[in-house]
Amino acid sequence: MSDATAVLTGQLRPVEHCSRCGAGFVCGYVAGLPECWCASQPLLPARQIVPGQHCLCPACLAARRQAGQAPDSTPDSGPDPAVG
């Protein structure tokens, strides 16, 4: 079993690839650790979760969080055509 020290010192190889950019990173759960680095991050709002997309690397997760905090971050903020 791996420990957090091995992750922090880079002794573990990347075991996951970011769904957005393809960068390799260590997922603590996949590496056999009790927690992953992402467990300490704020949760993304449901509207920012992409169906079928799996783990994001630290940089892409931070970018997704930042995009959600920006004004007018919704892709289609025009009037709803179903509302008449």
User: Is 65 in contact with 44 (CB distance < 8 Å)?
Assistant: yes
User: Is 25 in contact with 14 (CB distance < 8 Å)?
Assistant: yes
Q: What is the 3-state secondary structure (H, E, C) of 16-66?
A: EECCCCCCEECCCCCCCCCCCHHHHCCCCCHHHCCCCCCCCCHHHHHHHHH
Query: What tens digit of pLDDT does each residue of 29-55 get?
Result: 888 888 889 999 888 877 777 787 788
The predicted model gives 62-76 an average pLDDT of 66
pLDDT of residue 5: 60
pTM value > 0.85:
no
Domain that holds residue 35: 1-42+52-69
Domains identified in the chain, total number: 1
pLDDT of residue 6: 59
Greater confidence, 12 or 22? Answer: 22
- Tell me whether residue 76 is in a domain: no
